Amino acid sequence: MTEDKISQKKIRFATLFPGSENVHLAKDVGMIPYILGKYYNYESKLVCYKNGDYPYLNAELKGLNIDFIKRDINSDFDDGTIYLIKNSRNIDVLHLFHLSESSLKWMYFYKKLNPNGRVYLKLDANTNIINSPLNEGVFEFLKRHCSLISVETKYLYQYLNKNWPVNIEYIPNGFYNFCDQEPILYNDKENIICTSGNIGFPVKANEILLKAFELASPYLTGWKLKMIGPIKEEFKQYIIRLFLNNPRLQDQIIFTGQITNKCELFKEYKKAKIFCLTSKIEGFPLVFPEAARNGCFIVSSNLPAAWDITDNKKYGDIFEIEDIKQLALLLINNCKAEERLKSVCKDIQTFAYENFYWVNICKKINYSLTEDR
């Protein structure tokens, strides 16, 4: 791609995601229009309801444009459709998420109203997409209506291109430097294992990490576990029982609560030597590239994205989903592998910048949307 691609007439880019809240702004929903606007001369915006306050707009994502849609019918699909009827002709690229009935209908209306417009469908998929009951008609529709379809993991990229008669691009999720860009030094890290997300949500399987750490903790002198994120109310009872049954863990397990400020969150990643994810199913979790950028060794359940972020276990380890004993052994072995942790701390940062930096990811999106223009 040449610099000329960036300096041409602004491309009017709209991400239609009615349910977006403040938290989505720092995820792919907000980051793609933000980066395209900031670095690639797009006239980009996020289209959504006003779902509460958006403090990121005045801090981390200052400059991101949001076009708030009215709740005329209070239905994501219907109000999104009304927006497209009014605005499609002023949108060069419509950016949609998920292979859903709503997305298919939205792209149909958009292309009817703006035949020269382009559609970017980001599948935002986990392995459930493999079992989607799609027929030839859907595939032909996608071919006619989409200029770019992408998926976030290499496993699904390979599977879908082999089994779907549609071209799918591999475009992962990434990280962005909201704060300083200095390399993370291993000597500044502490003996901390951390995880981040919605603590206690069933799909996150946080109890697996707590049980594994309980098994491993007698062998991990001086190590602590940090659970970063809001705690689901029902899960608080589980935590109380855990500490009642094993009081010594109260000094080793820390629950920070929710940290919305990205700079504060990155400080937690910077202190941790190991980042652990125990989810049963995921697409491409944003916490992976954020932890990698901050020099964390990644330990994860067997998710497609785990193989990508660890470069096939070069920068981490992978355990079978819900296997508590295997995870406990991995924690013990890796916490004691000081030289490997130190080496990975440096190398995974380089790997993250080369493969998961939002500015570079959006460079590929821009190229895919403009290469034939």
Query: Hey, what's the torsion of the CAs at 305, 309, 312, 313, to 10 degrees?
Result: -120
Classify 349 as helix, strand or coil.
helix
- For residue 180, what pLDDT is reported? 77
Regarding whether 294 and 201 lie in a shared domain, the answer is: yes
CA terminus-to-terminus distance, the chain:
12
Q: Are residues 264 and 287 in the same domain?
A: yes
Q: How much of the chain exceeds pLDDT 90, in percent?
A: 95
pLDDT tens digits, one per residue of 166-214: 999 999 999 999 987 899 999 999 999 999 999 999 999 999 999 999 9
10-33 mean pLDDT? 98
pLDDT at residue number 1: 41
Does one domain contain both 299 and 365?
Answer: no
Residues 193 and 151 in one domain: no
Nearest to 265 by CA among 207, 178, 204, 198: 178
Q: Return the structure tokens found at 37.
A: 């606007």
Residue 235 sits in the same domain as residue 265:
yes
Q: Is the same domain home to 204 and 168?
A: no
In a domain, 75, yes or no: yes
CA distances from 368 to 22, 364, 372 (A): 28, 6, 8
Quote the pLDDT of residue 8. Answer: 67
- Evaluate if residue 149 carries a pLDDT over 90: yes
Residues 195 and 136 reside in one and the same domain: no
Give the DSSP H/E element, type plus range, for residue 276.
Answer: strand 274-277
Task: Label residue 3 by pLDDT band (50, 70, 90).
Answer: very low
Structural domain boundaries enclosing 319: 186-355
* pLDDT confidence band for 373 (50 / 70 / 90): low
Q: What is the pTM of this model?
A: 0.95
The answer as to whether 24 is a domain residue is yes
pLDDT tens-digit map of 68-87: 999 999 899 999 999 999 99
- CATH number of the domain that residue 60 is part of: 3.40.50.2000
| Whether residue 317 sits in one domain with residue 198 | yes
Segment 298-318 mean pLDDT: 99
Domain count of the chain? Answer: 2
If asked whether residues 191 and 252 sit together in one domain, one would say: yes
Q: pLDDT value at position 333?
A: 98
Please check whether residue 343 lies inside any domain of the structure: yes
Q: Are residues 129 and 256 in the same domain?
A: no
220 and 158, same domain (yes or no)? no
